[in-house]
């Protein structure tokens, strides 16, 4: 790589992430300290800090830095939290969560993503992550979580996911029809759920969560 890594990382934080209303100091510090370039595919290392999604293979994509920042901020992850991440992908969000939370469960249906992330987390001495080879629709959690993040879009949100939240637990998900999707945060408050609209975006769908084909006569 020919770019100055630390200058590029600083520019990513100050020129992309902060201006997109990411002001949580813990999130900014985490995204500054976890080496994003480690999680970017080799062919795209020179784009590690740019405002663009990057292909990971298997028709999966690494989110833009601004979306990663908004996701982390919305979930308000605390040091004692247990977190579920659906879609390990590049592993960067898993690493950020591991840095911020007590324990992380990261699931993906692609074993190569899981194995690559395991290796990278080991090099960073992050050892509080449990991985499971599964997709969202077959996953059977054995516990509830303080925070849940879905890293791909969904046409609709399965109601069962709300039951996976502990009291005051937060769920970040992007839902709706491309190209007009909405990022929301659902919070469990007592015996009901409150939904906060965060922003509009357009990201690839989680595998299996795409809109059903529409047929017309």
What's the pTM?
0.94
Cβ neighbors of 193 (< 8 A, separation 6 or more) are 162, 186, 187
> At 183, which helix (H) or strand (E)?
strand 180-189
Phi then psi for residue 200, to 5 deg, are -95, 145
List C-alpha distances in Å: 143 to 82, 106, 149, 164: 9, 14, 15, 7
Architecture of the domain delimited by 5-201: 3-Layer(aba) Sandwich (3.40)
pLDDT at residue 43, as a whole number: 95
How far is CA 25 from its chain centroid? 18
Per-residue pLDDT of the chain (217 residues; tens, 9 = 90+): 445 999 999 999 999 999 999 999 999 999 999 999 999 999 999 999 999 999 999 999 999 999 999 999 999 999 999 999 999 999 999 999 999 999 999 999 999 999 999 999 999 999 999 999 999 999 999 999 999 999 999 999 999 999 999 999 999 999 999 999 999 999 999 989 999 999 999 999 998 888 877 655 5
């Amino acid at each position: 790589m020919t770019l100055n890594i630390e200058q590029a990382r600083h520019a990513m934080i100050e020129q992309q992430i902060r201006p997109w209303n990411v002001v949580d100091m813990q999130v900014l510090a985490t995204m500054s300290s976890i080496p994003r370039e480690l999680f970017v595919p080799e062919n795209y290392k020179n784009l590690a800090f740019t405002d663009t999604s990057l292909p990971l293979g298997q028709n999966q994509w690494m989110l833009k830095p601004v979306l990663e920042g908004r996701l982390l901020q919305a979930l308000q992850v605390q040091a004692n939290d247990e977190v579920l991440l659906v879609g390990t992908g590049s592993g960067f969000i898993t690493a950020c969560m591991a840095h911020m939370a007590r324990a992380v469960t990261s699931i993906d249906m692609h074993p190569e993503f899981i194995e690559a992330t395991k290796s990278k987390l080991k090099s960073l001495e992050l050892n509080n992550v449990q991985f499971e080879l599964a997709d969202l629709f077959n996953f059977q959690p054995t516990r509830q979580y303080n925070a849940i993040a879905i890293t791909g879009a969904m046409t609709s949100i399965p109601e069962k996911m709300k039951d996976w939240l502990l009291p005051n637990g937060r769920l970040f998900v992007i839902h709706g029809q491309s190209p007009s999707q909405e990022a929301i945060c659902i919070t469990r408050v007592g015996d009901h759920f409150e939904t906060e609209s965060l922003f509009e975006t357009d990201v690839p769908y989680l595998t299996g969560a795409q809109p059903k084909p529409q047929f017309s006569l």
